[in-house]
Amino acid sequence: MEHIFSYHHLREFTREVFIHMGCSLEHAALASEVLVSADLRGIDSHGIARLSGYVRLWEAKRINARPDIRVVHETPSTAVIDGDAGLGLVVAPFAMEIAMQKAAAVGTGWVSVKNSNHFGIAGYHAMMALERDMIGMAMTNASPLVAPTFSTERMLGTNPIAVAIPAKEQPAFVADFATTTAANGKLEILQRKNEEAPYGWIQDKEGHPSKNPHELKDGGALLPLGGDREHGSHKGYCLGAIVDIFSAVLSGANYGPWAPPFVSFLPLSPDPVGEGLGHFFGAMRVDAFRPAEEFKANMDTWIGRFRAAEPVTGKKVLIPGDPEREMHHERLENGIPVIAPVVKDMQEVAAKFNLNF
- Subset of residues 264 to 303 that bind a second copy, contact rule: CB under 8 A: 273-274, 284-286, 288-290, 294-295, 298-299, 301-302
Among 194, 313, 354, 356, binds a second copy (CB under 8 A): 313
Q: How many alpha carbons lie under 13 Å from residue 139 in its C-beta half-sphere?
A: 27
181 is a contact residue toward a second copy (CB under 8 A): yes
Is residue 257 packed enough to be buried (19+ CB in 10 Å), middle (13-18) or exposed (0-12)?
Answer: middle
353 lies in the binding site for a second copy (CB under 8 A): no
* 2-61: contacts with a second copy (CB under 8 A): none
Phi, psi dihedral angles at 146 (to 5 degrees) = -115, 130
Report if residue 200 touches a second copy, rule: CB under 8 A.
yes
Residue 75 or 334: the one with the smaller Cβ distance to a second copy is: 75
105-164 positions binding a second copy, by CB under 8 A = 106-108, 110, 112, 147-153, 155, 163
Q: Cβ atoms within 10 A of the Cβ of 193, count?
A: 9
**Does the footprint of a second copy cover residue 98 (CB under 8 A)?**
no
User: Could you tell me whether strands 221-222 and 202-203 are parallel, antiparallel, or unpaired per DSSP bridges?
Assistant: antiparallel
User: How open is the CA angle 275-277-282, to the nearest 5 degrees?
Assistant: 115
209 binds a second copy (CB under 8 A): no
Q: Which of 75, 329, 332, 344 is close enough to bind a second copy by CB under 8 A?
A: 75
Under DSSP, the state recorded for 249 is I
CA distance 36 to 121: 10
Instruction: Output b/e per residue, 219-256; b: 16+ Cβ within 10 A.
Output: ebbbbbbbbbeeeebeebbbbbbebbbbbbbbbbbbbb
Give whichever of 238 and 355 is closer to a second copy, judged by the CB atom: 238
Q: Which residue of 194, 230, 267, 270 would you call a contact of a second copy, by CB under 8 A?
A: 230
Tell me the closest approach of the beta carbon of residue 332 to a second copy, in angstroms: 24
Phi, psi of 343 (to 5 degrees): -60, -45
Instruction: Indicate whether 326 belongs to the interface with a second copy (CB under 8 A).
Output: no
Please identify, using beta-carbon distances, which residue of 42 and 53 lies nearer to a second copy.
Answer: 42
CB of 89 to a second copy, least distance (A): 23
Residues in the chain: 357
CB of 203 or CB of 264, closer to a second copy: 203
The C-alpha atoms of residue 128 and residue 4 are separated, in whole angstroms, by 28
The nearest distance, CB 77 to a second copy, in angstroms, is 4
Using rule CB under 8 A, residue 343 touches a second copy: no
- Report if residue 73 touches a second copy, rule: CB under 8 A: yes
The distance of closest approach from Cβ of residue 298 to a second copy in the complex, given in angstroms and rounded to an integer, is 5
Q: Which is nearer to a second copy, 22 or 76 (CB)?
A: 76
Using alpha carbons only, how large is the chain's radius of gyration in Å? 20
